[in-house]
Amino acid sequence: MRHYALEAKNLSFRYNQNSPYILKNIDFKLQKGEIVGIVGLSGSGKSTLIQIMNGVIPKRIPGLLEGSICFNGEDMAEKDLSCLAKEIGTIFQDPDCQILFPCAEDEMAFGPENLCYDPYTIIERINSTTKMLAIEPLRYRNPNSVSGGEKQIIALASVLTLNVGIMIFDESMSFIDERGKGLIKNAILKLKEQGKSILMVEHDLSNLEVADHIFLLKNGTLEAFKGVIE
């Protein structure tokens, strides 16, 4: 039986019985080693969908979730957030929301340390991540002293040291110049080569040029993108 990295079946969500549906009857599949883009206007439900895909809804943010969502063939409802954090990483719109330390290496070590990995494993993870992303010169830099694109790459590296298989990019190029966007897109393509599964959620279609498939989220429903955002 084939298992997808992420799979939603007939997924609907609303915050309570008296509120309208934010998402309605969504079916979605993300394969291993695939980049899928979801585009939509503000208020279309993109943030809600991301929080469902990484388990924050309904595990941390309550609400009424209908249908099912699985990762690697396992029901997400049966997993706690600490387990999901080892499998699914999210890169947010503003890297300042993710970066805590004045040294990039400390930032990359923080996640594995929180999950009680041994020091040797943590150093190996940092070494392999910086090499893969070609960011060795940033390793000992203060994230606040680098460009916006480099800061976002450091935020990405801090998630990759957890060795997650699924990456969700939440409008992660919104505040970055063209050079920075190029850095992020190149990093995403490298992740694909390594077999990572990538979900990119954007309002700017030009940021999704690296995607294998693009879907449109509109009025809470997901459909194949046909070239026009309305």
**Per-residue model confidence as pLDDT tens digits over 166-213:** 999 998 888 788 888 888 898 899 899 989 999 999 988 889 999 999
pLDDT of residue 1: 57
List pLDDT tens digits, range 40-76: 888 889 999 999 999 999 999 999 999 999 999 899 9
Helix %, strand %, coil % for the chain, to 5? 40, 25, 35
Residue 202 within any structural domain of the chain: yes
pLDDT of residue 124: 95
List pLDDT tens digits, range 76-123: 989 988 888 889 999 988 888 888 999 999 999 998 998 889 999 999
pLDDT of residue 183: 84
pLDDT of residue 95: 84
N-to-C CA span, the chain: 38
Residue 132 within any structural domain of the chain: yes
Residue 9 within any structural domain of the chain: no
Question: Residue 176: which domain range?
Answer: 34-55+81-224
pLDDT of residue 63: 93
pLDDT of residue 85: 85
Residue 8: its H or E element: strand 6-14
CA distance 142 to 104: 6
pLDDT of residue 41: 84
Residue 22 within any structural domain of the chain: no
Residue 143 within any structural domain of the chain: yes
Residue 11 within any structural domain of the chain: no
CA distance 197 to 195: 7
Quickly state the pLDDT bin for 140 (edges 50, 70, 90).
very high
Q: What is the DSSP string of 33-75?
A: T-EEEEE--TTSSHHHHHHHHTTHHHHTS--EEEEEEEETTEE
pLDDT of residue 169: 93
Q: Report which DSSP code applies to 177.
A: -
Residue 133 within any structural domain of the chain: yes
Q: CB 70: neighbour CB atoms within 10 A?
A: 18
Rg of the chain's alpha carbons, rounded to an integer?
A: 17
CATH number (domain holding residue 220): 3.40.50.300
* Residue bearing the bigger pLDDT, 9 or 94: 9
Q: How many domains does the chain have?
A: 1
Partners of 74 in beta bridges:
71
pLDDT of residue 134: 85
Residue 156 within any structural domain of the chain: yes
pLDDT of residue 228: 56
pLDDT over 60 (residue 230):
no
